[in-house]
């Protein structure tokens, strides 16, 4: 099989275009979007510390699967309830980890999941109440490599 000059130029141009598009879509040094997501979620309001319990391990031996429980102290009645809880990670390339939606029918404002963390970082939870107020809590999780520190 003989490769022509035209085929070689086409493959080379396609490779350059693919590389350029890949770099434009996700820059290697992209900044974490925690502030932007937080402001969008709260509408620019400052969340107050309290009402949220964030249960994550202090040390995670495997950043690929870190258990997390978030709960908000609320009676969950028609008059007072949690609408949403946003979970953010300040060390991941993209800060948004999860959003949980609640209603008075939920009974309790609690969610359990496993999250992925790129490295040692702070986990931030922001709760939106039905009256428009916001509460926050944060906790640092140290991610080790094979349990050897890191």
Q: What is the pLDDT of residues 87-105, one digit of tens each?
A: 999 999 999 999 999 999 9
With respect to residue 149, please indicate whether it lies within any of the assigned structural domains. Answer: no
Q: Please check whether residue 46 lies inside any domain of the structure.
A: yes
What's the whole-number average pLDDT of the chain? Answer: 85
Domain assignment present for 11: no
Domain assignment of residue 15, yes or no: no
How many C-beta neighbours within 10 Å does residue 110 have? 16
Domain with 41 in it: what CATH number?
Answer: 2.60.40.2470
Assigned domain for 63 exists: yes
Q: Which domain holds residue 97?
A: 34-143
- Nearest residue to 51 (alpha-carbon basis) of 71, 78, 22, 79: 71
94-101 long-range Cβ contacts below 8 angstroms, 24+ apart: 94/32, 94/33, 95/32, 95/33, 95/34, 95/37, 96/33, 96/37, 97/123, 100/70
With beta carbons less than 8 A apart as the criterion, state whether 93 and 119 touch: no
* 150 domain-assigned: no
Q: What is the pLDDT of residues 129-150, one digit of tens each?
A: 999 999 999 999 999 875 444 5
Cα gap 105→143, rounded to integer Å: 36
- Tell me, yes or no, whether 10 lies in a domain: no
**8 located within any domain:** no
In the prediction, which pLDDT does 38 show? 95
**pLDDT tens digit string along 105-119?**
999 999 999 999 989
Number of structural domains the chain divides into: 1
Asked if the model's pLDDT at residue 63 lies above 60, the reply is yes
Categorize the per-residue pLDDT at 27 as very low, low, confident or very high, splitting at 50, 70 and 90: very low
């Amino acid at each position: 099989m003989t490769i022509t000059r035209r085929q070689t130029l086409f493959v080379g141009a396609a490779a350059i275009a693919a590389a350029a598009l890949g770099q434009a879509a996700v820059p290697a040094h992209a900044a974490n979007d925690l502030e932007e997501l937080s402001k969008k979620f709260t509408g620019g309001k400052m969340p107050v510390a309290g009402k949220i319990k964030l249960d994550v391990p202090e040390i995670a031996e495997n950043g690929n699967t870190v258990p997390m429980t978030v709960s908000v102290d609320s009676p969950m009645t028609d008059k007072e309830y949690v609408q949403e809880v946003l979970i953010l990670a300040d060390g991941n390339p993209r800060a948004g980890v999860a959003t949980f939606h609640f209603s008075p029918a939920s009974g309790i404002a609690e969610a359990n999941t496993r999250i992925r963390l790129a490295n040692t970082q702070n986990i931030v939870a922001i709760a939106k109440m039905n009256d428009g107020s916001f509460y926050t809590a944060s906790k640092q999780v140290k991610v080790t490599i094979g349990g050897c520190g890191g």
